[in-house]
Amino acid sequence: MIKYVPELTDVVLEEIPDKVTLAVEISNCRGSCIGCHSPFLKQDIGVELTPDAVDRLIADNFGVNCFLLLGEGKDPEALLRIAEHLRVHHPDLERAVYSGRPEVEPEIYAAFDYVKVGPYVAELGPLNERTTNQRLYHHGEDITFRFWHKGLDPNR
Ligand code: SF4
């Protein structure tokens, strides 16, 4: 089972480039970021993110074209089941997950269109800082530079 915090669900424009994204905060985070910005997400809080809950959230937020899980929780099989549900029942939405781990398994890269990896390190900053250690991949391509300046060569 993975759980989300309903009151923190939001439609966001910044987290995934060029997408109108429905973002859900996943609890039971297994990350260990020093300087964690959301320690409450390490706790067993919220309610189960079931396929029905996913359907309801999408119906209530008509017009989104990406579904983002902010965190992975502690149940990888349940996470992959949600990704599969999205793939089969909501093929018009891209699937995204933010992980706080340095790396994730190949099946997670395969199940999601967008995968963010890397623990939060306060002195290196988040994705929109050039010094960041975090990376956002789209189908295996590193698109982190999209958070810096639109179209800028990430190697410059
Ligand atoms: S991924 Fe890191 S910053 Fe985010 S909730 Fe987990 S430990 Fe905290």
pLDDT digits (tens, 9 = 90+) for 68-113: 999 999 999 999 999 999 999 999 999 999 999 999 999 999 999 9
For the chain, the domains span: 3-147
Residue 100 Cα: closest atom of ligand 1: 1
pLDDT digits (tens, 9 = 90+) for 133-142: 999 999 999 9
Of 40, 41, 99, best ligand 1 pocket probe by most atoms within 8 Å of the beta carbon: 41
Band (54; pLDDT cuts 50, 70, 90): very high
Of 8, 30, 37, 104, best ligand 1 pocket probe by most atoms within 8 Å of the beta carbon: 37
Residue 36 CB less than 6 A away from ligand 1:
yes
Q: 3-state SS of the chain?
A: CCEECHHHCEEECCCCCCCCEEEEEECCCCCCCCCCCCHHHHCCCCEECCHHHHHHHHHHCCCCCEEEEECCCCCHHHHHHHHHHHHHHCCCCEEEEECCCCCCCHHHHHHCCEEEECCCCCCCCCCCCCCCCCEEEECCEECHHHHCCCCCCCCC
Query: If you measure from the C-alpha of residue 121 to the centroid of ligand 1, how many angstroms do you get, rounded to a whole number?
Result: 10
The dihedrals phi and psi of 26, each to the nearest 5 degrees, come to -95, 130
Report the predicted TM-score, pTM, of the whole model to 2 decimal places.
Answer: 0.93
Q: Tell me how far apart the alpha carbons of residues 41 and 38 are, in angstroms, rounded to a whole number.
A: 6
